[in-house]
Structures are given as C-alpha cells and as structure tokens.
Amino acid sequence: MSLVLHGYHYSVYNRIARLALAEKGVAYDRVEVNPFADTPPSYLALHPFGRVPTLVHDGFVLYETGAITRYVDRSFAGPTLQPAAPRALARMDQSIGVIDSYGYWPMVRQVFSHRVFRTAAGRPVDEAEIAKGVAGSAKVLAALEALASEPFLTGPDLTLADLHVGAMIAYFTLAPEGAASVNKHPRLAAWWAKVRQRASFTATDPGLPPSDHGPDRVTNA
C-alpha cells in the first residue's frame, strides 16, 4: 500500500489529517509542501488550488481536510472516528463547521499568530489584532461549550470533531489569552485537559517554527 500525505508541517489542517491517521494507527509517508512558497507544478497537479493537505492513496488523490479525515476513517481499520447515531454525527459535523467557519480566524490567525508567532520571531505584536481575536473567539467558545457532551465533544467516544477542534485549540491555548479564554468554559477546559494528553496529539505536535517562518504562514491552507 502506498499512502502519502502532502502538507505543510505547521498547518493546522495538515495536523488534523495527521491526527486522524494517528488515531487509526495508519503508517504513511509525508511530503513537505509549503503553500506560501512557489508551489511546484507537480503539487498543483494534485491540488489545483495549491493548499494543503492532500492525501494520495494507491494513486487516489484527495484534497480538502474534511474529505481526507472521513476517508481515512472509512478506509482503514482501527477505532471508528464518526458516530453511528444520526444526532451525534450531526453534532460532530456541526462542531467542525463552527470551528472552521467562526473559530479559525480569531483563534489561529489573530491570537496565536500575533501573540505566539510574532513573539517567537522577534517581530512586532499587534495588540489590537489579539484583542479582536479574543473577542471574536468568545462566541465560538460559548457555542462549543453549549454543544459539548462528555467526556468528548459528541459523547463517550472520540470523534473527528475532537481532532478538528483540538488542533485549533492547541494553537490558541499557546497564547496566555487563549488559555485563559478556554479556562472560562468548564466543559471545554476539562475536555482539552483530557484530549491534549492523547498519544496522537503528542506525536503530531508541530512545535514552533524557526524565526524565518513568519506568523502569517500558519493559515487555513
């Protein structure tokens, strides 16, 4: 079997795909693709929009993170990452939709990128952007708190929602403002304390990039 994940090491969405593969216990090869550099024609042949990640499984090419994670869950042995019950499955899809549509920009692009990346790179921090991100993330966290079940977001078993939301929260809580915001929500705080200790999160932790990677390079790629 040939299984290759093309992605950018520091991309939130690349990590989501890696988390799904890790939870399923699937071995794969990785090809680093920086969507912010000159994208090679060979990669554009796989992904016409030039974003990451892209999965290639025995010649089958698949892009879009949600499609990749669902395909991985359906195609490989291991724990099921999608609930069977229609309402739990709907909550999974809803939680993923909320974090994608409303959480990514304030949590990752504003709070994390400006507070963590710019600080690490020795670049000026835009406090106004951080304040906007904290304010924008408040409604997202409140919505997720209201939707969350226990011990995982959709109930007793870990699902793709935990991986998708968890990858965002991982970056967000590296900023003190992000950690404080999450801690205001008891269910989310308890959930994150549990999920962050999973082997899949440890194995896929991208760390912080060297200073020549600008903060704006962690995007919805």
pLDDT of residue 108: 96
pLDDT of residue 117: 81
> What one-character DSSP code corresponds to residue 162?
H
Measured CA to CA, the distance from residue 51 to residue 39 in angstroms comes to 9
pLDDT in tens, the chain (221 residues): 899 999 999 999 999 999 999 999 999 999 999 988 888 999 999 999 999 999 999 999 999 999 999 999 999 999 999 999 999 999 999 999 999 999 999 999 999 999 998 888 788 899 999 999 999 999 999 999 999 999 999 999 999 999 999 999 999 999 999 999 999 999 999 999 999 999 999 999 998 766 555 433 344 44
Measured CA to CA, the distance from residue 214 to residue 165 in angstroms comes to 23
Provide the pairing of β-strand 29-32 with 3-7.
Answer: parallel
Q: Full-prediction pTM beyond 0.85? A: yes
Q: Which domains does the chain have, with CATH numbers?
A: 3-75 (3.40.30.10), 86-198 (1.20.1050.10)
Measured CA to CA, the distance from residue 70 to residue 16 in angstroms comes to 11
pLDDT of residue 218: 42
